[in-house]
Amino acid sequence: MMNILEEVRGCQTIGISGHIRPDGDCAGSCLGMALYLQKAMPGVRVDVFLENLSDALTKNLAGAEEIRHNYVTDLDHYDAFLCLDCEKERLGDALDLFMKAGKKINIDHHRTNSGSGDVNYIVPTASSTCELVYNTMQEEYLDERIARNLYIGMVTDTGVFMYSNTGRRTMEIAGRLMEFGFDFSAIVREVFYEKTYVQQQILGRALLESIRFLDGRCIVSMLDRKTMRFYQATSSDMDGIASELVHTDGVCCAIFMYETEPMTYKVSLRSTGEVDVSKLAVLYGGGGHARAAGCTCRASYHDIINNLSPHIEEQLNAGVHV
């Protein structure tokens, strides 16, 4: 098991980043790690680089106001750079900073990640990257703000501890974090369940536009840019729609996509266990987990469905369970 303080011993500048379109686990692990290093290593400069967060994450994550969203730094390079919750290819504008760093560290729980750093801590069986980040920390430096951030990430990636990636270790860590006294019920409500009016509208539209195929075992919905503009919806308003679709009775696999550019779609894939959607995402250069994955596809909506369908059907007919 990694001890992060040992890995960055002697470093005076440390950069941290995660994947594009950061979710709660990505942002929680980055900010939790940053606060921990700042507390354990006084005087060391720690910078976090992430794209804009959702309003709910910005409101609830400690230290979110310190994020460098423009990816600008006055340093030629960082002594160490941490890539969290993804492989280096998904760092976006932070990739150059990572590659120039004196020491590259990669911590992740996605099984499609083979390791991007000089030092790697990749555990696909972990519930979340926040769980792994907790494992790298020493108890004496933990506090309420760090615990809050890690808890948010764990809640996000386990579906409030409902998903199959939740294990005994997950619950033990969550219980320990809760002892720091933050309002965990408010976090669950605001980060996981609460939606804006626009998000509710766009979810309703996605459900109305959905269709089932493969004898009703798969469901798909798509929103184009015209529809998103009509509702004044942004990419962050799309979060959670795929998870709602997969809850449809009789459905084993859900596909939700929204248009980001002409003939370019952000695709979210969800499964109840009969389909390994990470294998589907890899076909388009994406990744993720067996039951939750994503990718970006450059093709027409119909071509994407036609290309994915035989791979889904093959897994369904094979009777796999993940």
- Whether 179 and 234 share a structural domain: no
Residue range 70-82: mean pLDDT, rounded: 97
- 285 and 152 in one domain? no
d(CA 154, CA 143) in angstroms, rounded, equals 17
Return the higher-pLDDT residue of 114 and 237: 237
Give φ, ψ of 103 to 5 degrees.
-135, 130
Q: Are residues 101 and 177 in the same domain?
A: yes
pLDDT of residue 287: 84
pLDDT at residue 164 in the model: 83
CATH value at residue 233: 3.10.310.30
Asked if residue 192 has pLDDT above 90, the reply is no
- CA dihedral of 322, 167, 278, 300, whole degrees rounded to 10: 110
Residues 35 and 161 in one domain: yes
User: Does residue 146 share a domain with residue 210?
Assistant: no
- Show which of 193, 228, 252 is a domain's final residue: 193
User: What is residue 122's predicted lDDT score, i.e. its pLDDT?
Assistant: 97
The pLDDT value recorded for residue 165 is: 87
pLDDT value of position 153 = 97
DSSP state of 240: T
DSSP assignment of 114-131: ---SSEEEE-TTSS-HHH
Looking at the chain, the whole-number percentage of residues with pLDDT higher than 90 is 89
Q: Do residues 206 and 183 both lie within one domain?
A: no
81 token code pair: 């750079």
Q: State how far the Cα of 39 lies from the Cα of 164, in Å rounded to an integer.
A: 34
Q: How far apart are CA 67 and CA 18, in angstroms?
A: 12
Is the pLDDT assigned to residue 321 strictly greater than 90?
no
Average pLDDT, stretch 36-55? 96
Sheet holding 80-84, edge to edge: 45-49, 13-17, 80-84, 103-108, 119-122
pLDDT of residue 285: 87
At 26 the three-state DSSP class reads helix
Q: Which residues of 209-248 are buried (b: 16+ CB within 10 A; e: fewer)?
A: ebeeebeebbbbbbbeeebbeebebeebbbbebbbbbbeb
Say if residue 150 is in the same domain as residue 232: no
> Per-residue confidence at 114, pLDDT binned at 50, 70, 90?
confident
Asked if residue 201 and residue 182 are part of one domain, the reply reads no
CA atoms within 13 A on the CB side of 147: 19
- Percent of all residues in the chain with a pLDDT value above 70, rounded to a whole number: 100
CATH number of the domain enclosing 100? 3.90.1640.10
Residues 79 and 71: beta-carbon distance below 8 Å:
no
Task: Quote the pLDDT of residue 152.
Answer: 98
- Please indicate, yes or no, whether residues 129 and 14 belong to a single structural domain of this protein: yes
Q: Choose the final residue of a domain: 193, 226, 252.
A: 193
Same domain, 33 and 46: yes
What SS3 class is residue 239?
A: coil
Instruction: Look at strands 287-288 and 292-298 and give their pairing.
Output: antiparallel
CB-CB contact of 269 with 305 (8 Å): no
User: How many CB atoms within 10 Å of residue 269?
Assistant: 28
What's the number of domains the chain is made of? 2
Element (H, E) at 97: helix 95-100
Q: How many other CB atoms are there within 10 angstroms of residue 6's CB atom?
A: 9
User: Is residue 322 pLDDT above 80, yes or no?
Assistant: no
Q: Are residues 216 and 96 in the same domain?
A: no
Confidence (pLDDT) at 146: 99
Q: Which domain holds residue 147?
A: 4-193
Residue 53: DSSP 8-state: P
- The DSSP element (H or E) to which 176 belongs, if any, is helix 168-178
pLDDT higher than 80, residue 320:
no
In this structure, the answer to whether residues 172 and 305 fall within a common structural domain is no
Model confidence, pTM: 0.90
Last residue of one domain, picked from the residues 162, 193, 224: 193
3-state SS record for 279-320: HHHHCCCCEECCCEEEEEEECCHHHHHHHHHHHHHHHHHHCC
Are the C-beta atoms of residues 16 and 94 closer than 8 Å to each other? Answer: no
